Amino acid sequence: MAYEKELELALLAVQRAAILTKSVYSSHSKGTLTKTDSSPVTIGDFGAQALIIASIKSAFPNDEVVGEEDADDLRANPDLKNLVWDLVQQAKLSDPAAQDKIGGPIKSADDMLKALDGGASEGGNKGRIWALDPIDGTKGFLRGGQYAVCLALMVDGVPTVGVIGCPNLPVDDKAPLDSKIGTDADDKEGKGVLFGAVKGQGATSRALTDGKLEAPKTITMSPLPDVAQATFCESVEAGHSSHGDQADIARKLGITKASVRMDSQAKYCSIARGAGDLYLRLPTSKTYQEKIWDHAAGVVLVQEAGGEVTDAYGKQLNFGIGRTLKENKGIVAAPKAVHAKVIEVVKEVLSAKKD
Tens-digit pLDDT profile for residues 72-114: 989 998 888 998 999 999 999 999 999 999 999 999 999 999 9
The DSSP-derived string for 153-164 is: EEETTEEEEEEE
pLDDT at 287: 92
pLDDT in the model for residue 201 = 98
Q: Is the pLDDT of residue 39 over 70?
A: no
pLDDT of residue 187: 57
What's the pTM value of the predicted model, to 2 decimals?
0.94
Is 258's pLDDT higher than 60? yes
Given a cut of 90, is residue 175 above it in pLDDT?
no
Does the pLDDT of residue 194 top 80, yes or no? yes
Mean confidence (pLDDT) of the chain? 91
**Of the candidate ranges 21-25, 112-116, 271-275, the one whose mean pLDDT is the lowest:** 21-25
Closest CA to 20 of 110, 147, 121, 183: 147
Instruction: Tell me what percent of the residues of the chain surpass a pLDDT of 90.
Output: 77
Range 164-187 average pLDDT: 80
29 vs 223: which has the higher pLDDT: 223
Amino acid at position 245, single letter: D
Q: What confidence tier does 188 reach under pLDDT thresholds 50, 70, 90?
A: low
Burial (CB count <10 Å: 0-12, 13-18, 19+), residue 34: exposed
Counts of helices then strands in the chain (DSSP H, E): 11, 14
Residue 123: the pLDDT is 98
Kindly indicate the confidence band of residue 196, based on its pLDDT and cuts at 50, 70 and 90: very high
**190 - beta bridge partners?**
none
Residue 314 has pLDDT above 90, yes or no: yes
User: Does pLDDT of 309 surpass 80?
Assistant: yes
Whether 342 shows a pLDDT value over 60: the answer reads yes
State the average pLDDT over residues 43-59.
96
pLDDT range class, residue 177, cuts 50, 70, 90: confident
Helix axes of 78-90 and 4-27: crossing angle, nearest 10 degrees: 120
* The pairing of beta strand 158-170 with beta strand 148-155: antiparallel
Number of other CB atoms surrounding residue 326 within 10 Å: 12
Per the annotation, the verdict on 284 as an active-site residue is: no
Cβ 69 vs Cβ 134: under 8 Å: yes
Q: Name the DSSP letter for residue 286.
A: S
Mean local confidence (pLDDT), 137-160: 92
- 45 flagged as catalytic: yes
Task: State yes or no: pLDDT of 28 exceeds 60.
Answer: no
**Which residue in the list 138, 160, 204, 231 is annotated as catalytic?**
138
Distance CA 148, CA 2 (A): 25
pLDDT at 65: 98
Quote the percentage of the chain above a pLDDT of 70.
Answer: 93
Residue 108, amino acid: S
Q: Does the pLDDT of residue 37 top 70, yes or no?
A: no
Can you give the pLDDT at residue 325? 98
The one catalytic residue in 21, 42, 45, 248 is 45
Across residues 202-212, what is the average pLDDT? 97
Average pLDDT of the segment spanning 5-31: 86
- Please, which pLDDT band fits residue 174 given cuts at 50, 70 and 90? confident
pLDDT category of residue 140 using cuts at 50, 70 and 90: confident
pLDDT tens, position by position, 286-301: 899 999 999 999 999 9
Confidence of residue 35 (pLDDT cuts 50, 70, 90): very low
Buried-state track 92-105, b at ≥16 Cβ within 10 A, e below 16: bbeeeebbebbbeb
Residues 114-140 have a mean pLDDT of: 96
